Amino acid sequence: MTLGFGVVGTGAIGREHIKRITKTLTGADIVAVTDVNQELAEKTIGDLDLNANVYEDDSALLQDDNVQAVLVTSWGPAHESTVLKAIEAGKFVFVEKPLATTAEGCMRIVEAEQKHGKRLVQVGFMRRYDNGYRQMKQAIENNFIGEPLMVRCAHRNPEVGERYTLDMAILDTLIHEIDTLHWLVGDDYKSIQVTYPKKTSKALEHLRDPQIVTLETKSGIIIHAEIFVNCQFGYDIQCEVIGEEGIVKLPEVPTLEYRKDGVLGSGILQDWQNRFNDAFNNEFQDFIDSVRHKGEPQGPSSWDGYIAAVTGDAGVKAQKSEKVEPIELPDRPEFYQQKKSEEI
């Protein structure tokens, strides 16, 4: 059986994911699409040469029996409503981050999924599928560096446009570190603080950029994360975990090394699409295979989406107060405990 996807939101990343599902991956196809911009949905069918129905909205798309899984790539504020409708219809869901824009919204999804009785939802936190991060996690779990004590990381984008607001530094950008780092060190967050270094002249009036975020975990690991979204030079993701006996560092992504005009150099990638292309492919292939062969997705769950939202809310509070803000999370429900062998 090929998994039939219905796509809600045929914008930038929706189209990227459609291309990877139809051209690169195996076991799935696109059978339906919708977008609030109907012209764009129609155009997507033609541009990407799809044999799929175009629906006027997500409710109509969900009624198509050929839609077994829904790919939610609309903008963040629209995610919750579509995910809840999909759970109600008993369909699998792959939803881009954020799961919902509020912690309450994420909790409504968590509750609906538990009521349904089995996992249906996976959230698009693709870094867990990046080979570099996976090697780091394996090394930490194998006790290669002893107990982790500190983490230093950076999330740099070359530039952002006018629509990028201050809170997006946490909710749209740092959200990836928020998800990845507690998974990487196997600990839960306790608090978050934001401080602002000297502002770059390259940032627009309404922004403060760069920002330094300090997260502390329950066992006392201190994480220093730099967010710098107008760094000019490229898309640059750094991460290093310092342990009692050594350090593991996220490998640089190899690019062409050159010798020219007296310089020995190599390029820096410019966007997240290129940097995480393999991770995106891995996460989708895992979602497709798990749903088809195990009857449930295994990647980042609604509970992980909820953790990110609670931490993100505390982060936005910390941006305003510039104080240490607590992160209060209930224990992970039994429903979302994964068997060690299935952990992503």
> Which residues make up the interface to ligand ISE (CB under 6 A)?
157, 172-173, 176, 272
In the window 22-81, what residues touch ligand NAI (CB under 6 A)?
34-37, 40, 58, 73-76, 78
Q: Counting runs of H as helices and runs of E as strands, what totals does the chain give?
A: 11, 15
Give CA–CA dist 287/279, Å, rounded: 12
Sorted by sequence, the CB contacts under 8 Å of residue 291 that are 6+ apart come out as: 3, 68, 69, 92, 297
Binding status of residue 139 toward ligand NAD by CB under 6 A: no
Measured from the CB of residue 253, what is the shortest distance to ligand NAD in angstroms?
A: 15
Among 37, 66, 165, 337, binds ligand NAD (CB under 6 A): 37
Euclidean distance between CA atoms 66 and 73, whole angstroms:
19
Q: Are strands 263-266 and 257-260 parallel, antiparallel or unpaired?
A: antiparallel
> C-beta of 245: minimal distance to ligand NAD in Å?
33
Residue 122 touching ligand NAD (CB under 6 A): no
* Cα(183)–Cα(343) distance, integer angstroms: 10
Task: Report the nearest approach of ligand ISE to the CB of residue 29 (Å).
Answer: 26
Enumerate residues 6+ apart whose C-beta is below 8 A from 104: none
14 binds ligand NAI (CB under 6 A): yes
Q: Does 101 bind ligand NAI (CB under 6 A)?
A: no
12 lies in the binding site for ligand NAI (CB under 6 A): yes
Out of ligand NAI, ligand NAD, ligand ISE, none, what residue 173 binds, judged by CB under 5 to 8 A for its kind, is: ligand ISE
Q: Binding residue for ligand NAI (CB under 6 A) from 3, 7, 10, 235? A: 10
- Interaction pattern, residues 62-101, with ligand NAD; x per rule: CB under 6 A: -----------xxxx-x-----------------xx----
The structure tokens 């230093």 sit at: 152
- Enumerate residues 6+ apart whose C-beta is below 8 A from 10: 18, 33, 34, 35, 37, 40, 41, 44, 73
Burial of 319 per CB tally in 10 Å (0-12, 13-18, 19+): buried
Match 């502390």 to its residue by tokens. 216
Least CB distance from residue 138 to ligand NAI, whole Å? Answer: 23
Q: Which is nearer to ligand ISE, 167 or 286 (CB)?
A: 167
CB of 298 to ligand NAI, least distance (A): 18
Size of the site for ligand NAD (CB under 6 A): 23
**Distance between CA atoms of residues 64 and 32, nearest Å:** 8
Q: Which two tokens stand for residue 326?
A: 């607590």
- In sequence order, what are the residues at sequence separation of 6 or more whose Cβ sits closer than 8 angstroms to the Cβ of residue 316? 167, 170, 171
For residues 215-254, which are near ligand NAD according to CB under 6 A? none
Residues near ligand NAD (CB under 6 A) are 8-14, 34-37, 40, 58, 73-76, 78, 96-97, 124, 126, 272
Residues near ligand NAI (CB under 6 A) are 8-14, 34-37, 40, 58, 73-76, 78, 96-97, 124, 126, 172, 272
